[in-house]
Chain A
Amino acid sequence: MAAPPRHVSMLSISNSNTGAPQSASSDKPQTPQPSPSPQPTSGLRVPSNRKTIYDRHLNRSRNAELSRASFAYLFAEMVTYAQRRVTGIQDLEKRLNEQGYPLGLRLLDLLFYRSTSTSSSALSSSSTSSSPPNRPLRILPLLHLIHGPLWRLLFQRSADALEHSVSPDTPNEYMITDNDPLVNTYISVPREMNMLNCAAFIAGIIEGVCDGCGFEAKVSAHNQPTEMWPSRTVFLLRFGDSVMEREKVLERNGVK
């Protein structure tokens, strides 16, 4: 693409759109759920090198290493931020969870995108070789997705354990264990807050992933230290009734 002044290029783009009779630009004003974004549409700022996010490859940062120090700093700031004006530990955990949730939704898409395009380096190449992974339809595949690929994407290793509740009263409870969660590595919780587990942030991510896949769930993080793993954390996933019911239907229908 040549490099005309940005406004000109914008105009040309929108012109080509309105050429089509169905252009969405005409129906924007009457959208039933009006979603006027804070900034006006025309105010898009194109970076000076003309590289928008759409021009960057999503796998670019795939193997990029992040400094632990900077992560620790960032996360510490997040916890501090969340801690303001909270009423208690539960409230704080809830806020951390909320911060993780949208991340989970996004990671889900990214995770699938990356696993789709692993073998075929770019989308343009014929991708007969790689069949994209399936969306999880049942609980177990979903849990494996979280336990394996998601954990690897986040922490470059799998989670340490995956368990199903043995109690017949709570068949909807599953547990994922991380012996040494990264987020807690540099955090020492004050004694008076010893119930707090900052991995609630991770729990939020898991919740986002579950919800994104259509599995309504509540996820919480709990401290379960052992001799060997003082910061061992268990993530408890409780799936909603509708999920369990669907699970039965799918099992009857033989869906894996």
Chain B
Amino acid sequence: MTSPGDGTPVKPPPSFSPGVARNASKSRYPDEHDATVSLDAELAETRTGSSPTSSLPATTAELAIRSASPQSRSGRSSTPQLARSSIGSPLDGRFDGSEDIRSLIIRAFSPTVAVHASEDTDELVRNKGFKGGFSELIRPFGETVPGKVVIRDSIGSSRAWEDYGVRFVNLKGFGEAHAGRDPGRDSSLAQMEEVLEKQLDSGENSLGGPISSKDVLGLPATTPLCKLFLRQLLSTTPAAPHETFGHPVASVISISSRNTAPLETLRQLYAESSTGDRRLPDWVQQEYLRYYVLVHDEERDDIAESTRLYDQMKRHFGLHCHLLRLRSSQCVVTDDDSTQVPSCEWLSPREHLSGVGEAQTLVDLGTDGTPYLFDSDVTAIKSFIRELIVQSVIPFMENRVAVWNDQVASRRRGISGRFMSMSRRWAGFGSSSRSGIGSSGGNSGNYDSTQNFYSPDSPEAILRKMADFAFMLRDWKLAASTYDMIRSDFGNDKAWKYHAGAHEMCAVSMLLNPLAMSAKIKLESVDQMFETACYSYLTRCSDAPHALRSLTLAVELLKSRGGSATESAARWAMRVMDFGLVESIGQILFMERVAACYASKTPATGAKWGARRRKAGMWSILAADQWLKAGKPSLASSCLEEAERLYAVVLEADGVFPMPEMQAFVDNLRHAVKVEYLEARGFDAPDKTPTEEDPIGTEETSEKLDKRSHRRSLIGLPATLDAGNLNMSPGARNPEDPPNDDFERA
């Protein structure tokens, strides 16, 4: 993720990067307004042409930032249009910040596919160097399905997705993960913090670099640390009764060609998973797709034999079968056609800490730490996964959604619509006709309040599952309407976790639905839903991880919406801090997020107000302070730089705050960061660097003149309109100046 590539021994922290570059930029482009447009376009071209961030020379990056700032405020008619039109343009670099996060969130809710491999399969794979067996082998490949995946939504329109994926989990681990959940309530969050800390310690150097990369508009890019946090958070939550994202949509049952009694083994594996000791907990619906795989050992077994067996399997088990041809010997890096196995993107904090999927597991095998596979194996696995997903899993899910939508949901929302929710107490649905005795509570009676779950075939559970399926199929419209339909039912049943989950996902799917973008009115209801979800999770269920997840999703998705939603986003981020859901590093990360939220709010078209630069700047400063206290001066320094950039537009002169104590605080902070940074690099902190003071000094004076003109109309300064008036009205700025009566001296 973060390549610790830069080996430069002492790179000055960004915030004290020599002022030369800045000055140069100023003198080269004295008229910033006219310059910005062309400059921007120029820059955009270089961006599309060359690689996104790193190749930009430092001066250009600096330039972009500087020149972008006044344009957002000056409100010349040309600039906002430029900003808007570029949204539609293919400059993906520009908005990748929020798109990235969106995609990350979408991919976090991928279907789960359980892997149930026979002993001999695991044995075969272990020979190849994968200790965790078959599921470990295919897991990294499942996270991104090669090629486009076409999904049809409920109204029949298709859409192709490039970034579709599934999560493979080992069926053996499934029950254990769930059992180990309760003590993990707090610890999963603590573990996350630990991972972050580890990442920080190991990646201190490499993290400093990417942070300074910003997109062209000058919005702060999402820091890698923040992405790590988000990914961690979203892979923390284990399978739970109240949501079905962790429940297997399908199960891969695999045997190998070494097996002596293949069909019996397959039957036995099936039986184990449906009735035997590998049976999933009661709250998981058992009718998931079974997919049968025969792993053929290319090196030891006869392909003709395997093909015959495969044909037999197809006859017995239908179409959901696959013949996977693998070589059984271990591949090492020196082999000709070796390919590095991608690392897993979605590792839970626990796995991160125990080092699963990382180098350690293989060290004892004498390799250099990263697992390798033969090219042919990789191709085989990829095509297997593609076939599994595209031909079996997706159609299965589409089909289930259609069936449930038809049988359960449409009845629920049908003619009697609302009436139904009341009358269902008497009527009941489908298989579960246990009708509650219609008391005032409106309890459907399907909720088992002693074990805290709905039985999987109750209409509530099915609707939830259908909504989750729709969500995983990225049909957010259907998902949102389904969640919306059931969310109050859970409240009536006092099934609080379900209640929270439905509210959470309803809001999330509404925010993800790109078509609902225009519907501004929804914002309050979305906020309200998050509020409810958070309250139910935290207060009623004491489920901090889920609460944190829903609030974090709220922050990121609202932020990506832009406009007034960003303020909501910032508010939620503050709530997270207020609730104490995250620990020290998390707190700082959220401070950065608040700053990012505010920074992403842009002024209304043509207007000079509406941005939240000062707020963003303040939060960046606070984050810098906290990073410093946490002993991470390089992160502090990049926050400071960010703050400077944000403040540049609103302050009269660079780095000069109007309020004395603010000024003192910022000055001290700057100094402390500099000292610590240099100390951390093993340098004696010089008391003062004259090279730094000088450019800033000259900058002040040069800034002062042109900055003021930006503020003029807003505040009503006569400013440069008339030289004489300049002295009259802002008189206090320079009271030493002789009063404007030079003609008196005549």
Contacts and interface: CB of A to CB of B under 8 A. Distances in A.
A and B directly contacting (CB within 8 A): yes
Interface of A: 27, 30-33, 35-38, 82, 84-86, 94-95, 97-98, 101-102, 105, 207, 210-216, 218, 240, 242-243, 245-246, 248-249, 253
A98 B713 contact: no
B146 interface: no
B728 A214 contact: no
Interface centre among A33, A84, A85, A243 (most CB of B within 10 A): A33
B721 A218 contact: yes
Interface stretch (B209-217, B623-631, B654-662): B654-662
B724 interface: yes
B660 A98 contact: no
Interface stretch (B424-432, B497-505, B603-611, B684-692): B603-611
B660 A32 contact: yes
Majority-rule SS of A interface residues: helix
B722 interface: yes
Contact of B713 (A216, A218, A248): A216
B722 A249 contact: no
Contact of A242 (B656, B664, B713, B744): B713
B716 interface: yes
Contact of B724 (A33, A98, A215): A98
A28 to B, nearest CB: 9
10 contacts: A84-B743, A95-B743, A97-B722, A102-B729, A216-B712, A216-B713, A216-B721, A240-B712, A240-B713, A240-B721
B519 interface: no
Contacts of B664: 30
Contacts of B304: none
Contact of B656 (A32, A86, A248): A32
Interface stretch (B163-171, B507-515, B732-740): B732-740
B19 interface: no
Closest 9 CB pairs of A and B: A242-B713, A85-B746, A214-B716, A211-B716, A27-B660, A98-B724, A85-B743, A249-B606, A249-B607
Contacts, number: 90
B728 A101 contact: yes
A113 B605 CA distance: 34
B75 interface: yes
B81 interface: no
Interface residues of B, number: 37
Given A94-B724, A246-B713, A33 B606 contact: no
B75 A242 contact: yes
Contact of A98 (B607, B715, B717, B728): B728
B735 A214 contact: no
A253 B607 CA distance: 11
A248 B740 CA distance: 36
A27 B743 contact: no
Contact of A211 (B77, B660, B718): B718
Contacts of A37: 735
B725 interface: yes
B335 to A, nearest CB: 66
Given A32-B657, A216-B718, 13 more contacts: A30-B660, A32-B656, A35-B733, A86-B743, A95-B724, A97-B722, A101-B718, A101-B728, A101-B729, A214-B713, A245-B75, A246-B606, A249-B607
Interface of B: 75-77, 604-608, 656-658, 660-661, 663-664, 712-719, 721-722, 724-725, 728-729, 732-733, 735-736, 740, 743-744, 746
A28 B593 CA distance: 35
A253 B610 CA distance: 13
A216 B735 contact: no
Contact of A84 (B663, B713, B746): B746
Given A86-B743, A94-B724, A216-B712, A249 B657 contact: no
A211 B673 CA distance: 42
Contacts of B713: 214-216, 240, 242-243, 246
A255 to B, nearest CB: 11
Contacts of B608: 242, 246
Nearest to A24: B660
A60 to B, nearest CB: 26
Contacts of B728: 98, 101-102
Nearest to A239: B713
Contacts of A94: 722, 724
Contacts of B735: 35-38
A82 to B, nearest CB: 8
A136 to B, nearest CB: 11
A104 to B, nearest CB: 10
A102 B716 CA distance: 13
B660 A31 contact: yes
Contacts of B721: 216, 218, 240
B606 A245 contact: yes
Contacts of A245: 75-77, 606
Contact of B658 (A32, A38, A246): A32
A101 B660 contact: no
A246 B722 contact: no
A242 B660 contact: no
Nearest to A37: B735
Contacts of A35: 732-733, 735
A33 B715 CA distance: 18
Interface centre among A102, A215, A218, A245 (most CB of B within 10 A): A245
B715 A214 contact: yes
Given A95-B743, A101-B728, A215 B656 contact: no
A27 B661 contact: yes
A139 B718 CA distance: 17
A212 B605 CA distance: 24
Given A27-B661, A30-B660, A213-B716, A98 B75 contact: no
Nearest to B727: A98
A242 B711 CA distance: 10
Contacts of B661: 27
Contacts of A101: 718, 725, 728-729
Contact of B722 (A36, A98, A210, A212): A98
A105 B658 CA distance: 22
A146 to B, nearest CB: 14
Contact of B716 (A31, A97, A216): A216
Contacts of B744: 84
B743 A33 contact: no
A253 to B, nearest CB: 8
Nearest to B661: A27
B606 A248 contact: yes
